[in-house]
Amino acid sequence: MSFLWYTVAVMVKIYKIDGLDCANCAAKIEQAINKLSEVERAELNFAAGKLTVTYADGADVKRAFLKLVKTADSIEDGVTVSDAQAAEEHGRATRKLIFNVGNLVKLSGVVLFIAAVILQFTAPGGHGHDGIGYAWNLWAGMDEPREVVYTLLYYAAFFLGGYEILYVCGKRILSGRFLDENFLMTLVGIGSLIMGENLEAVAILIFYQTGELCQRIAVEKSRSSIANLAELGVKSVNKYVADGRIEQVSPERVDVGDRLLVKAGEKVALDGVALNAAVLDTSAITGESVPVEVGAGDSVYSGSLNVRDVFTERVRKKYDESTIARIVSMVENASAKKAKSEQFITRFSRVYTPAVVALAFLIAIPFPLIFGLDLQQWIHTGMIFLIVSCPCALVLSIPMSFFGGVGAASRRGILFKGGNYLEAMTALDTVVFDKTGTLTRGVFEVAALLPAPGVSEDVLLEEAAWAESQSTHPIARGVLERYGRPVDHARISDYKEYGGHGVSAVIRGKRVLSGNLALMREHQIEGVTESALSGTHVYTAADGKFLGCLVLSDAVKPDAAAAIADLKTLGIKRTVMLTGDKRAAAEAVAQAVGIDEVHCELTPERKLEILDSLIAEKRGKGKTAFVGEGINDVPALARADVGISMGALGSDAAMEAANVVLMTDEPAKLPLAVRLARKTRQIVAVNIVFSLFVKAVIMVLSFVLQALNAVPPNFILIAEFADVGVALIAILYAMTILRYNPVAKRPARAHAHTHG
């Protein structure tokens, strides 16, 4: 068993659960574990094969774990859970042996079944192949011994080929949880044997197990996308140690501030800052295939591949906090947050299967007895209903559809934190955008210095830079970059931020204000001259005296206009921009990219109020998304129906608060995310309709044909093949999302650089 667990909190553990390939059984295991007195909450992520357990306070974890393992095994035979590396190796070896022995036993059953079929259908006077039997001189004139032999072969094939189904069924009957597909197959198989339909009895079990094997392969194939993602991690790194020597160590042993050497062809293991130029392939985390050039002082992210030359990085985050670790965690945990369709199918299957079993019983026994019909024939029809009642196609294909959608999106640098958010994306009709860093590049440059009379440009710039030096806002970075000199933070005190307005600080004994006009008016600064220049304005004052204004420019992202246009082609009815910037700059950006509605000069609180009103207007009709990237966007990201973080490589807080994370700063990824979500939803809908339609057709057809006394030979095998085939087709169709390549409008390069 491959094993993974780690402590999220004192009493929360995550285990790897292996041998589980049935979504319906996964739901039963989760429900049973949640009933354990030592467990406060358990979530089983079927798609990722992970079990998250929150233990109750004071619980004996070791004892509870043993009960947990026993509970899982009682529901699904062969399921293994482990919390030790030694148990991992032992479990893997044992399971491999059991798997091989089990396969040999099943294979022997298949061989005996084939031999029995050959003997039966080559017998003189047999099933349409009379002439063939005469060529077998050994058996000539010995029809009765031959019949005894192939009958015994059928019985041997039944118990050898279907031993696993029979064993699991018996085990679950003893536990009281027997109403599942194993019970149904056992009931139908034994019923067929009793009625003398030996070929059907064995074929039913073999077909079913063949279908289960194909389903298991399909499930493992989908899980491999997570395994491939986890392999993006690096096992060892080249760390600089004393005297400039380089030592190979595991990434977990690297601390913040350490220096690492990254050779050509190696992956970056931890987030850091480049100390010299490099060219990186970031496709693993952003989905973009074009290599990125970085210079000294630029950020580099784990999972990136060093394309050429050696470079050195200084680590700024520990291994478990790195970008790739968070990506793997988010994608692995995505299936735990189930979409409404998944929740519906889980509830539906709990009612559907017992209902069909009850209907099968009524058709098999009371119906023919009441109307004086052939009891054996109608029992045969009832068994067809039992076969069709298996909900595998629904309960397995639908979670796999959402899991596949999450995986397909992650390959393109779009991270959905759950199937519920992916489903919500399909119902979007309003998208609300932040401006700076979302629609614009968020890289401000000082375009003009407008000092007040009697104040020099140098004084204006220095006071503004010192005041902004403790802010993380892009505007502050632009001012500091223009200043270009070190700031003595020891001479700065009483720093304050005024949300959406600016900052203030005591600098060398003077109270300096830096922000917008509202901040100047709030502090009753006299002599403020409002600038008419286009751009973002930073007004500065010291000890109540107005010093002047800095004008900064911010360019619109090249693909922003095309992305907005593409969203509108997808049926998004309303696009809104919320910004703390001035009206002139905000409206210029809105006009450049095609935004319908603008609200400007907003504080974070006011942004949230407007978003609330937009959601309230809809009254549950359609979904509203908020797209942002900064710390000040966190409340809105959390409040929206779907919070979408732009540029996860920039803001950790936004990444944590968002429901969907776009790993690049490209607005073009947003319509791509909508297309992927809608395609996934379409696959889910098709699978639901297709599965229920085929099941209904088989049930109605079997009833009608039996009523007309026109049931073809071995029709029950057709029903079994249809059931298994439907499940397999549904799963394979669900996995087509992994190869889905939506054709989106190609983003056009914006020629105008609009200030904002």
Active site residue ranges: 434
Question: How many secondary structure helices (H) and strands (E) does the chain include?
Answer: 25, 27
Please report which residue ranges of 513-647 form alpha helices under DSSP H.
517-522, 560-569, 583-593, 604-618, 634-639
Strand partners, 293: 279
Backbone angles phi, psi at 376, to 5 degrees: -65, -40
Query: Do the Cβ atoms of 430 and 622 come closer than 8 Å?
Result: yes
- Rounded Cα gap, residues 317 and 320, in angstroms: 8
Helices 392-411 and 340-364, axial angle in degrees (round to 10): 160
DSSP 9-39: ETTEEEEEEES---HHHHHHHHHHHHTSTTE
DSSP3 helix / strand / coil % (the chain, rounded to 5): 50, 20, 30
Cα 515 from chain centre: 41
Query: Do the Cβ atoms of 332 and 227 come closer than 8 Å?
Result: no
- Rounded Cα gap, residues 43 and 418, in angstroms: 13
Rg (CA), the chain: 33
- Rounded Cα gap, residues 273 and 537, in angstroms: 31
- DSSP, res 571: T
Residue 79, both tokens: 């399921």
**473 in the Ramachandran plot: left (φ > 0), alpha (ψ -120 to 50) or beta?**
beta
Residue 447, both tokens: 């375009």
Helices 669-707 and 560-569, axial angle in degrees (round to 10): 20
- Rounded Cα gap, residues 479 and 552, in angstroms: 8
Distances in Å between the alpha carbon of 231 and those of 15, 82, 316? Answer: 18, 21, 22
Other CB atoms within 10 Å distance of the CB of residue 57: 7
Query: Do the Cβ atoms of 55 and 49 come closer than 8 Å?
Result: no
Helix (H, G, I), strand (E, B) or coil at 497: strand
Residue 76, both tokens: 């699904």
Helix (H, G, I), strand (E, B) or coil at 727: helix
List the Cα angle 359/360/365 in 5-degree steps. Answer: 105
Query: Do the Cβ atoms of 39 and 120 come closer than 8 Å?
Result: no
Other CB atoms within 10 Å distance of the CB of residue 564: 24
User: Smallest Cα–Cα separation from 271: which of 287, 283, 285, 289?
Assistant: 285
Strand partners, 545: 526, 542
**285 in the Ramachandran plot: left (φ > 0), alpha (ψ -120 to 50) or beta?**
alpha
User: Smallest Cα–Cα separation from 555: which of 752, 324, 737?
Assistant: 752
- Rounded Cα gap, residues 654 and 546, in angstroms: 35
**431 in the Ramachandran plot: left (φ > 0), alpha (ψ -120 to 50) or beta?**
beta
Residue 236, both tokens: 């060892």
Residue 28, both tokens: 């039963």
